[in-house]
Amino acid sequence: MTTKSSSVRAGGKGARGGGRRRTGSTAPASGRPATEAAELVQLLTPEGERAEHPDYSIDLTPEQLRDRYRDMVMVRRFDGEAVTLQRQGELGLWASLLGQEAAQIGSARAMRPDDYVFPTYREHGVAWCRDVDPLTLMGMFRGVSHGGWDPNENNFHLYTIVIGSQTLHAVGYAMGIAKDGADAAVTAYFGDGASSQGDVSEAFNFASVYNSPVVFFCQNNQWAISEPTERQFRVPLYQRAAGFGFPGVRVDGNDVLAVEAVTRWALDHARSGGGPVLVEAYTYRMGAHTTTDDPSRYRLSAEQEQWKLKDPIARLKALLTREGIADHDWFETVDAEAEQLAKRLRDGVRSMPNPEPSSLIFDNVYTEPHALVDEERAAYRRFAESLADAEQEGGR
Amino acid sequence: MATETMPLMKAINAGLRKALEEDPKTLLMGEDVGRLGGVFRVTDGLYKDFGEERVVDTPLAESGIVGTAIGLALRGYRPILEIQFDGFVYPAFDQITTQLAKMHARALGKLRMPVTIRMPYGGGIGSVEHHSESPEAYFAHTAGLRVVSPSDSSDAYWMLQQAVRSDDPVLYLEPKRRYWQKGALDTAAEPSIGLHQARVHRPFEGDAPADLTLIAYGPMVKTCLDAAAAAAAEGRRLEVVDLRSISPIDFDTVQACVEASGRALVVHEAPVFGAIGGEVAARITERCFYSLEAPVLRVGGYHAPYPPAKAEEEYLPGVDRVLEAVDRSMAY
């Protein structure tokens, strides 16, 4: 676990070459953000044409390509349904992933079942790939639980809402994997906003010092609620990895092929003892931060229009069509399936029962009895029963 | 094994050794806990015997220590952390209160956090700023954490075993000014007293009820026992309840004592306002209202930042301040 492999950490050497490019040792000359200028790994252009990259490639079968498309369509559809359900008052809140489908599907499909995922609260696409029912996600935003799924069933941790905290949990988990001598890896999701948090820097440093098998997967969606990236950092994010002693890569986050290729490489690197990797998926939050947000107060719609041209689903659809991998009927089938999913979720959310409050509040505060919790649970039940009795007697 | 006499810090060391021997999933983590053996040498020798995989020197980042321990616990480990000093715990406050404490509840019981956080606390050692604080109320206020503090060598050893075995996160507060206080320890016989039970000391003759109940924990237990001894010389009968646990608090024992004595005084180093003493006083009022001969009084630190060392004896409760408060209570 404490193996020093400085040659790898210094510049990604020995993995697949191109370490200098990945670690991005060139700082912007002007000291101003050079986000747009920095090189992206791209294997599929916004027009849906395949592109070559010297360091990364991926060879997906036609079936896999169709699967990636289907994943993205299904996820976008249920995400949209959740926004609608929030507008109808069925959910208290929703954090839309609109625009980030490729970043999430590509990275999640690069993982193995024994890898472990630490998500933020927007990783609905990753949850989808880890077989967490979207209905359970919606239950969390409806307020019937703080998550509701068993993280160890799918190696998918609960959503973490406090920004950046989960990156340290991911590193700790990865330290445990290394201690166990297992060859799994951990993916820690976070965003451009989280990069300002101290916990993220501590996570980078612990991972580097212990050479832990963790991939830090940053979806840079350009906005931390209303704050643009210029308010979060002055050096392109992926370059930050170099200062901590591990490779950083910037990938086109709207290109599902490039994301999967880069994440596969990063996970392999981590699993084989190479230590952590930072992947910056350069993408865009097409929707609001959450359903309570109003992006028209802080950003221009023209920016959004520009990013629409880079849509992750449209470009894969263009490829599938051009290469004759899918036809009109197949696309219609996927759309119909997505509509069926949306209906199941709509019906499921509307008929979702409220939890029993006494057990929800008191039962899992501690694993073993705690005198104060026991006392307060009993007091709550007495009070609730007294109300029920009064109601029965036709009182208040 | 025969009963040995050893300083409290050696009892903790022996307790850590036992925990590491008994369960291969236990780990020690913290700043300087390895090669150095900790700044107080509490972990002395453990790195040498258990190696760097079990006794882990960490980078100097408290949030990182607790945050990575959460991940290790999720992977099936049982980390025992050291926060080097009370005043350095605040960078980890978010991970402790927001993540560690809540994980079991937010996972609907599906995740467990068997993490023990050891932390020397309290003043009286003439140290510089941030090395003498008593932050226990912050943590006792947080649901999901258990908070305990031993006051002698036997409790230091056995309460540590109970804390490490617990599947809940436990904050184990070490009374650093008592690290060198010697006491008896029988490592062969685990006492029957539970982690969260209070212990009553009645250092006076006869079976008649005490005149007053002193309630304390950690470093102030000795101060209260000293006060009780001084009072006994003047014919006043003071009993001392060593709470041992601050979350939860054994109010049944407190209640039984105060119902008999009719008077209570809570003593801790922490500033009195918004602290454990207020909570104990409120509970005594609720449970013992008709038995009380006097309001429950509190003695503790002042509502001021912990002072420079040359003034700490004035800031910290000592025997005289305890006895002065006893006099005030008895005057009712």
pLDDT in tens, A86-133: 999 999 999 999 999 999 999 999 999 999 999 999 999 999 999 999
Residues A62 and A98 in one domain: yes
Residue at A20 is within a domain: yes
Q: Rounded to whole angstroms, how far apart are CA atoms A360 and A159?
A: 18
Q: Which of B104, B130, B131, B303 is catalytic?
A: B131
Question: Please, is B88 exposed, middle or buried when counting C-beta atoms within 10 Å of its C-beta (0-12, 13-18, 19+)?
Answer: middle
Domain range for A361 is 357-392
* Bridge partners, A87 (sequence order): none
Torsion of CA A16, A19, A22, A23, to 10 degrees: 150
Q: Rounded to whole angstroms, how far apart are CA atoms B46 and B35?
A: 9
Q: Rounded to whole angstroms, how far apart are CA atoms B168 and B112?
A: 7
Q: Rounded to whole angstroms, how far apart are CA atoms A245 and A280?
A: 16
* Residues B72, A172: C-beta atoms closer than 8 Å: yes
Residues A155 and A33 in one domain: yes
Q: Which residue of B has its CA nearest to A361?
A: B105
**Cα angle vertex B249, ends B246, B252, to 5°?**
160
Residues A343 and A306 in one domain: yes
Backbone angles phi, psi at B145, to 5 degrees: -100, 145
Residue at A255 is within a domain: yes
Q: Which of B68, B95, B144 lies closest to A366 in CB terms?
A: B144
Residues A363 and A336 in one domain: no
Provide CATH code, domain B199-330. Answer: 3.40.50.920
- pLDDT for A13 equals 35
pLDDT(A30) > 60 = no
Residues A142 and A201 in one domain: yes
Residues A66 and A133 in one domain: yes
Q: Which of B68, B95, B166 lies closest to A171 in CB terms?
A: B68
Numbered ranges of CATH 3.40.50.920 in chain B = 199-330
**Left (φ > 0), alpha (ψ -120 to 50) or beta: where does B294 sit?**
beta
* Residues B64, A1: C-beta atoms closer than 8 Å: no
* Residues A364, B61: C-beta atoms closer than 8 Å: no
Residues A317 and A380 in one domain: no
* Residues A364, B109: C-beta atoms closer than 8 Å: yes
Residues A237 and A362 in one domain: no
pLDDT tens string A256-315: 999 999 999 999 999 999 999 999 999 999 999 999 999 999 999 999 999 999 999 999
The CATH number of the domain holding residue A182 is: 3.40.50.970
Residue at A24 is within a domain: yes
Residue at A1 is within a domain: no
Numbered ranges of CATH 3.40.50.970 in chain B = 4-185
Of B25, B35, B60, B68, which to mutate for an interface test with A (greatest number of A Cβ within 10 Å)? Answer: B68
Q: Is the ipTM of this complex over 0.90?
A: yes
Q: Strands B245-247 and B264-271: what pairing?
A: unpaired
User: B4-185 sits in which CATH class?
Assistant: alpha beta
Q: Which of A147, A169, A371 lies closest to B67 in CB terms?
A: A169
What is the distance of C-alpha B169 from the center of its chain? 14
List Cα–Cα distances, A365 to A199, A284, A370, B65, B118, in angstroms: 25, 38, 9, 23, 21
Backbone angles phi, psi at A256, to 5 degrees: -65, -30
Q: Rounded to whole angstroms, how far apart are CA atoms A191 and A283?
A: 10
Q: Rounded mean pLDDT of B275-294? A: 98
- pLDDT for A10 equals 33
Give me the number of domains chain A comprises.
2
The reply to whether the predicted model has a pTM over 0.90 is: yes
* Residues A169, B98: C-beta atoms closer than 8 Å: no
- Catalytic site includes residue B303: no
Which pLDDT band, with edges at 50, 70 and 90, does A394 fall under? confident
- Structure tokens given for B61: 């980042």
Residues A344 and A363 in one domain: no
Residues A164 and A193 in one domain: yes
